[in-house]
A and B are shown apart, each in its own frame.
Chain A
Amino acid sequence: MKQIVTLLCLAFFASVPIWLTDPYLLNALITTGIFIIGAMSLNLLLGFTGQLSLGHIAFFGIGAYVSALTSLGFDVPIYGDFHIVHVPWPPIAGFFLAIVISGFCGYLVGRLSFSVRGAYFVIVTISFAEVVRLVALNWVELTQGPLALTNIPSITIGLPGLGYLVLKTKFHNYYLVLAVAAISYFLISRLVHSHYGRAMRGLMENETLAVAVGIDVTKTLTLAAVISAGIAGAAGSLYAHYIRIIDPDVFAFISTVTMVIMVVSGGKGSLAGPVVGGVIFGLLPVFLRPIMPPEAQWITYGVVLIVILFVMPRGIVPSLAAKLGLARAGGTRRASVAVSERTAEEHA
């Protein structure tokens, strides 16, 4: 049942460019889609391990910079006459490198999260994102700092027997973003339904119990952090090659806030949550734009957010699911304890 709904949604999203010809809306859908991928990756940390990262944009930005620099090349003086010179590679290589390097950064931050929890983890992640932003701003030889990286090439993919396809148009980019989003969704879904996913939720609900039944905290949290950061890096790479200019503004705190809004309003810990929250809060500004002055658009945006949370404190998807009596998407306390017990049996 649930799979049919997922497939129907995917089919719907895939049909959009066929009937939606307005390039402005398509552009809005592409940028929203990129941020939804970021939000899905954040959900893996926030919704399934309970760790609130307010520096998630760091991985997104690192992905954007890695991908852009890989495809543009650079020449960085390190010490004296010693330079690191990089000749431009195809953008698709940048895309995969972005995933790897962001994932590695996720590993480092993930290591931290064993000792630092709750509010302290929130601040560590904010600090991490700010430090990365300041490095991007000040290491001018590598990143060109505030002078921005421009003319970033579009992603090119080789098709066997058909030559190369440059993904330049919005039509192409929409499907690229949709494909990456679908793969990420599938990956996250597989992960949270696996043995590791149950361990994560067990850990979130009752850490003492989880440890007692033999869940490897270190391994579980690191895995979640690495995959989450890698997906965010992929989203950043898509952003760089679509917008085609990046500067340290990609690390703006408001972008993390956007992702958190998408996750929590949609329903954290629910696979569909970030998608629903993302579509609402990604497209809300588009609909507000023609009907009210700029400041009022922001005020409305804030008020809508507050109202949604007042009506549905657990987020849209879990609240609706509970109302419709469908799946227990959010995972009630009893269900999770049951999960932990099951995990315990598996370990035994």
Chain B
Amino acid sequence: MIRTIKAASATALAIAFLSSAATAQTIKIGVNEPLTGAFAASGTYVVNGAKIAADEINAKGGLLGKKIELVIEDNKSNPTEAAAVAEKLITRDKTPVMLGAWGSSLTLAVMPKLVEYETAMVVETSSASKITTSGNPYVFRISPPSFVEAAAFKNIVDKLALKKVDFLVINNDWGRGTAEDFSKMMKEKGITIGLIETMDQSAQDMSAQLAKIKATDSETVIITAAVDQLTLIFKQAAALGLKKRIITTGGSQNPDQIIAQAGAAANDTMHLTTFLPWMPEKTPNPEATTYFINEWKKRGFDFAGCTESFRGYDGIRTIAAAIEKAGKAEPAAIKDALWKIDVKGLNGDIIFKKSGPAGQESGQSFPNVYLVEISGGKIVMKDL
């Protein structure tokens, strides 16, 4: 692990040197991700995924006869810095298109810059609905906002015979959005909504919330949190003897890590996810998935990172397809081309549909959503 991180830093350093000596022989793509601060782990995963896509494209001869070059900048998990990074990528590095910026507040802070410089950004992870509904025509999102997940989950709630449901969600746009959209959908289905509990982004001890949930009469808990917090929740729920069905949402959870770290506590839990690295044959694009996973392992990264990093991989491939279609690496042409692409992504077809106020719509792609269950320490796919 130490070695891979050092190698990654060395690569970053090399890229920094290359970019200062860059010529017009490359097509630049800006990457605005958190590499330090609270979201460092996730941002690094996405960047590693993006690099795999860039290397793959370059190995096949690049785009429009040129190599592509990722200009990777750290936004320090800080909205002010995210906006500054966008400014740098667009005005200094002259990147005609960007990928970013992981968290919703980071993405939202970049959005005014996109309008100012008329440059498009592909959003790979952020889930806040505001991103595509506030009338910013330069935003193209490939990750699903929570209402898309809720809509997909709607088909299975009857089969699961849910009656009363509690929520335990991370206290940010992602968790709050999930609680809102899922409870709306469930109420329509006649399911009773019990508690909606939140936990701080950095909290490590959720025993108090879980003790409260343990005391209710609901039979199911829906949990939205990143993988580290999920693992802790499973351990702590088991320690408290909480015996309710657990369903997680969000798609950046990682059942492998949960099995490895929570052990027996993870059994019989269900997870809504958007990518299936455990069964490449069942993904919409098995060939690409297999290539991506092999490459990921070859580079010595944690397998657990796949469910985050594939977004970076898909994001760069989306951008590459748009540049190809545009026929030139210019901001306006790429932005128009993003509307016309049809990429076979690792989690479904990436086709942008219009979203938000008429005349200045943002692009939103609708990936597949899957439900997997951990059973006997193994991951099994359930039909939706």
Q: A-side interface residues toward B, CB under 8 Å?
A: 22-24, 27-28, 31, 137-138, 140, 145-148, 150-151, 243-245, 247, 249, 252, 254, 289-298
User: Nearest Cβ distance between residue A129 and chain B, in whole angstroms?
Assistant: 15
Could you tell me if A294 and B173 are in contact, using CB atoms closer than 8 angstroms? no
Could you tell me if A24 and B177 are in contact, using CB atoms closer than 8 angstroms? no
- Knowing A31-B80, A247-B105 are in contact, say whether A146-B173 is a contact too (CB < 8 A): yes
Tell yes or no: B384 within 8 A of A by CB: no
Could you tell me if A27 and B83 are in contact, using CB atoms closer than 8 angstroms? yes
- Knowing A148-B128, A292-B13, A293-B12 are in contact, say whether A252-B78 is a contact too (CB < 8 A): yes
Residues of B in contact (CB 8 Å), total 35
- Knowing A244-B112, A294-B36 are in contact, say whether A150-B83 is a contact too (CB < 8 A): no
Across the A-B interface, the 8 shortest Cβ-Cβ residue pairs: A294-B74, A146-B172, A293-B9, A294-B35, A24-B88, A245-B108, A247-B105, A27-B87
From the candidates B20, B35, B111, B128, name the one contacting A290 in the complex (CB within 8 A). Answer: B20
User: Nearest Cβ distance between residue A154 and chain B, in whole angstroms?
Assistant: 9
A/B pair count, beta carbons within 8 Å: 87
From the candidates B13, B76, B87, B130, name the one contacting A24 in the complex (CB within 8 A). Answer: B87
The 26 sampled A-B contact pairs (Cβ below 8 Å) are: A22-B91, A24-B87, A24-B88, A146-B171, A146-B173, A147-B130, A147-B173, A148-B104, A148-B173, A150-B108, A244-B112, A245-B105, A245-B108, A254-B78, A289-B73, A292-B13, A293-B9, A293-B13, A294-B12, A294-B35, A294-B74, A294-B76, A295-B36, A296-B9, A297-B36, A298-B36
What is the chain A residue whose CB lies nearest that of B81? A285
Tell yes or no: B185 within 8 A of A by CB: no
User: Nearest Cβ distance between residue B17 and chain A, in whole angstroms?
Assistant: 9
Q: Which residues of A contact B335 (CB under 8 A)?
A: none
Could you tell me if B35 and A245 are in contact, using CB atoms closer than 8 angstroms? no
Could you tell me if B80 and A243 are in contact, using CB atoms closer than 8 angstroms? yes
A295 to B79 alpha-carbon distance, docked (Å): 18
User: Nearest Cβ distance between residue A23 and chain B, in whole angstroms?
Assistant: 5
What is the chain A residue whose CB lies nearest that of B74? A294
Tell yes or no: B159 within 8 A of A by CB: no
Knowing that A294-B12, A294-B36 touch, tell me 4 more A-B residue pairs with CB under 8 angstroms: A146-B175, A147-B176, A243-B79, A290-B16
User: Nearest Cβ distance between residue B168 and chain A, in whole angstroms?
Assistant: 15
Could you tell me if A31 and B84 are in contact, using CB atoms closer than 8 angstroms? yes
Could you tell me if B176 and A140 are in contact, using CB atoms closer than 8 angstroms? yes
What is the chain A residue whose CB lies nearest that of B115? A244
A145 to B177 alpha-carbon distance, docked (Å): 11
Tell yes or no: B109 within 8 A of A by CB: yes
What is the chain A residue whose CB lies nearest that of B198? A138
User: Nearest Cβ distance between residue B170 and chain A, in whole angstroms?
Assistant: 9
Tell yes or no: B360 within 8 A of A by CB: no
A292 to B16 alpha-carbon distance, docked (Å): 8
- Knowing A147-B130, A147-B176, A150-B134 are in contact, say whether A245-B171 is a contact too (CB < 8 A): no
From the candidates B9, B16, B109, B177, name the one contacting A243 in the complex (CB within 8 A). Answer: B109
Within 8 A of A (CB), among B147-195: 171-173, 175-177
A218 to B252 alpha-carbon distance, docked (Å): 54
A292 to B83 alpha-carbon distance, docked (Å): 20
User: Nearest Cβ distance between residue B16 and chain A, in whole angstroms?
Assistant: 6
Tell yes or no: B92 within 8 A of A by CB: yes
Q: Which residues of A contact B109 (CB under 8 A)?
A: 243, 245
From the candidates A24, A243, A297, name the one contacting B91 in the complex (CB within 8 A). Answer: A24
Q: Which residues of B contact A31 (CB under 8 A)?
A: 80, 84
Could you tell me if A151 and B84 are in contact, using CB atoms closer than 8 angstroms? no
Q: Which residues of B contact A292 (CB under 8 A)?
A: 13, 16
Q: Which residues of A contact B105 (CB under 8 A)?
A: 146, 148, 245, 247, 249
A28 to B79 alpha-carbon distance, docked (Å): 13
User: Nearest Cβ distance between residue A147 and chain B, in whole angstroms?
Assistant: 5
Q: Which residues of B contact A243 (CB under 8 A)?
A: 79-80, 83, 109, 112
From the candidates A146, A289, A297, name the one contacting B176 in the complex (CB within 8 A). Answer: A146
Q: Which residues of B contact A293 (CB under 8 A)?
A: 9, 12-13, 16
Within 8 A of A (CB), among B2-61: 9, 12-13, 16, 20, 35-36
Within 8 A of A (CB), among B77-129: 78-80, 83-84, 87-88, 91-92, 104-105, 108-109, 111-112, 128
Q: Which residues of A contact B16 (CB under 8 A)?
A: 290-293
User: Nearest Cβ distance between residue A149 and chain B, in whole angstroms?
Assistant: 9
Could you tell me if A137 and B171 are in contact, using CB atoms closer than 8 angstroms? yes
What is the chain B residue whose CB lies nearest that of A28? B84
